[in-house]
Amino acid sequence: MTSNKMYPKVMCTQHPDSISRYISTQEETYEAVEAATKYGCDEYMPDYEGKTTPYHQSAQIISKFIEETDLVLGKDIFITPRVPSAVHENLFRQLMVMMAIAEANYISYKHTGIQAIDELVHPMTSSVGQIVESQQHMIDVTNLAKKEFSFEMEAPRIIPLIEEVPKHLNAKEIIGNTITAYQEQLNQTPEKYRVFLGKSDSALTFGHVASTLSCKYAISELHELEADTGIPIGIIFGTGSLPFRGHMSLENKDNFFMEYRGIDTVTLQSALRFDHEKGDAEQFVKYARDELSKSPDILSAQEKEEFINIIGIFGASYNRAIQQFSSTINSIADFLPQQRDRLMRGGSTGYARDLPDSIIVSRLCQSDIGNELQASMACGSMNLPRAIKFTGALYSIGIPPEIIGTGSALEKVREKLGDSVYERLLTRYFPSLQTDLRFAFQYLDTNTASRFLSDSLHESIREEVDILRNIFDIETQCDPSYRMLLEMANPHLLCAADSNCIMDADLLQLTRSIMIKMGKMRKSLG
């Protein structure tokens, strides 16, 4: 059964996951129009989070649509900017973007009589307070626009982007309390409410399996909240084309929409548009329109408990491995090309991801699993790169991140939770895991990767691979051409990981060209 809720179906985004194309901020205005006219998207997200996007970009995009198309803004195409976080970037940048949104709406209203931007995305949402404060900031900016321009603009609504595993598990409470806070503090009762769930950052910090399950848990919980409150909740799902980031591709479309039933909008990121076969993105968009907004799988109380404990086991197994070579990952990630104009990592105006608060998850798990999860987490921040470059870095040394911690965690699930939970994980909770792993094994070469790892970690990774081959009957070997590129890049990337090694400009360019060729083979930077 398909829901009657009407939301935009496909949101084109500015994610820098294309390996074959760099897009400047100037080109993004044209990209927005192309998203609608070529690919059939009905939503576009100008992105200011961690990017050097000009404040006036939203106004430029709206002007471009008015001048060059017959599409009706707010009906045929929705413009939904992602603003900076006042906590993780700074309040000044957030307010400046909101002022630019007011300008864009003024231009739209003056030319068409329609307010083009009705919603905006708030990234890295971790509390109700962040959502309400940002909504109040937007209301304040709206009131200023009314005063200065005699323009009766409605304050665009905040769409919280929930990106971490602990917040996925707490999504029902966060959004339920947000709706209550809107009623009590802002004197508003939303007629409908949209929530954005992110796959990539949850995978970055908890691993592929844990993040997949946490997203599915959140989808179920948000549909329960919709039933409880009577307020329609539209779920946007942010996902890339590689398995670690969601495996949203034309080849994997049936698995994708089976796994994530109940979502209403998907993000069409750069890789699927520019790195995959010509016509794949357009076909995917057409297919998505029929598959979205289908009834979700609502989890029972027992299934929720099993999900949480499985998440705890996989999160612990993944983190024990990843923190052993996080500095190497950072060094290699810096060699991957910068495909959009982003802020630097760290610094007063910079931008980095912090580790999530795993205590929230560990307290929900049974005690032994929770204790192991807490023991596995790094003390302080590992200052990991963004999820796209993190994924690309691991693929570039022959260790797809989908592999890390997965085999040992599967054995641990069977040991701690029993055969029946283990079987449900493989057949009901994450049935397309085998497909994801078969994809990853095409780019797996533990021998080439061994020079980046300690002896104990290398042996651990090999054991993971053996377990997975046995469980899923995987015979897939690394593509010979990909292995050759791995071997060519290996000595140069080892130099990159050595702080005492100095690489000249020609060698740097050669190394990047090899990494780009690898990315083109897997059809994504990361």
What pLDDT is recorded for position 380? 56
414: left (phi over 0), alpha (psi -120 to 50) or beta: alpha
pLDDT tens digits for range 480-513: 999 999 999 988 888 877 767 777 788 888 999 9
Does the pLDDT at position 65 exceed 50?
yes
CB 215 within 8 A of CB 253: no
The pLDDT, as a whole number, for residue 345 is 53
In sequence order, the 6+-apart residues with CB closer than 8 A to the CB of 70 are: none
**Percent of the chain whose predicted confidence (pLDDT) is above 70:** 95
Alpha carbons 245 and 199: distance in angstroms, whole number:
6
HSE toward the beta carbon, residue 50, CA cutoff 13 A: 18
The pLDDT of residue 354 is: 60
* CA–CA distances in Å: residue 44 to residues 57, 117, 192, 500: 12, 11, 20, 44
Lowest mean pLDDT segment, chosen from 164-173, 249-258, 369-378, 481-490: 369-378
- How many residues would you count in the chain? 526
Give the pLDDT confidence score for residue 2 in this predicted structure: 38
CA 450 to chain centre: 29
Fill in the DSSP letter of residue 73.
B
State how far the Cα of 393 lies from the Cα of 50, in Å rounded to an integer.
20
**φ, ψ dihedrals at 506, nearest 5°:** -65, -40
What pLDDT is recorded for position 76?
94
Say yes or no to pLDDT of 16 above 90. Answer: yes
Task: Give per-residue pLDDT as tens, 343-395.
Answer: 655 544 445 556 667 888 999 999 999 999 999 986 655 678 899 999 999 99
pLDDT of residue 5: 55
Q: What is the C-alpha separation between 115 and 118, in angstroms, rounded?
A: 7
Q: Which amino acid is at 254?
A: D
Among 3-12, 35-44, 309-318, 416-425, which stretch is predicted with the lowest mean pLDDT? 3-12
Look at residue 1 in the predicted model and tell me its pLDDT.
Answer: 32
User: How far is it, in rounded angstroms, from Cα 298 to Cα 309?
Assistant: 18
Handedness of CA 197, 199, 204, 207 (dihedral sign): positive
Q: What is the mean pLDDT of residues 120-130?
A: 94
Q: Is the confidence at residue 282, as pLDDT, over 90?
A: yes
* Contact residues for 484 (Cβ-Cβ < 8 A; gap 6+): none
- Say how far apart CA 444 and CA 477 lie, in whole Å: 7
